[in-house]
Amino acid sequence: TRRVIMLVLLIMLALPFFQPTLWKDKMPSSAQYGINVLYRRFTDDMARFEPWANASASSVYLQSMARSVYVSDFFAYIYYHNPLCDSVPSAVSTPQDVLSTLFWVGATGDSSDGAQFFLPRFH
């Protein structure tokens, strides 16, 4: 009988941890999660490649797979949070599926070492 009592007490104490409302508040929105992924990828790439050091390092970074992935993620973030994207077929995942929209993208001045690598370039 002690085991049954302990089991019932344990279940009563542990049951609140399985309620979805306990964990829902801490989950980021897609906009928060996406910008966090972009920021981490950008800062990790800047620390790894240091493209501002010289022209050779810049060229290596701009032609790397890491840069390609960053640009792809950047465009995906812009697409999925674009409030001006109205004419998309209904069978395709659209920005209207996301409850957050992009309002503004800011960038730093030229004095920052990594600022010139923040936005994708078109050659």
pTM > 0.85: yes or no:
no
Mean pLDDT of successive 10-residue segments in the chain (123 residues)? 92 82 68 89 95 93 95 88 70 66 68 79 70
Q: What pLDDT does 16 receive?
A: 80
Q: What pLDDT does 86 receive?
A: 66
Q: What pLDDT does 23 receive?
A: 62
Residue type, 70: Y
Asked if 78 contacts 114 with a C-beta cutoff of 8 angstroms, the reply is: no
What is the dihedral sign for C-alpha 53, 69, 123, 107? negative
> Which residue carries 């508040």 as its tokens?
25
Taking the C-alpha atoms of residue 84 and residue 108, their distance in angstroms, rounded to an integer, is: 25
Q: What pLDDT does 94 receive?
A: 65
What the block records as the tokens of 89 is: 């077929």
Q: What pLDDT does 79 receive?
A: 79
Q: What pLDDT does 36 receive?
A: 92
Taking the C-alpha atoms of residue 80 and residue 38, their distance in angstroms, rounded to an integer, is: 14
Q: What pLDDT does 32 receive?
A: 83
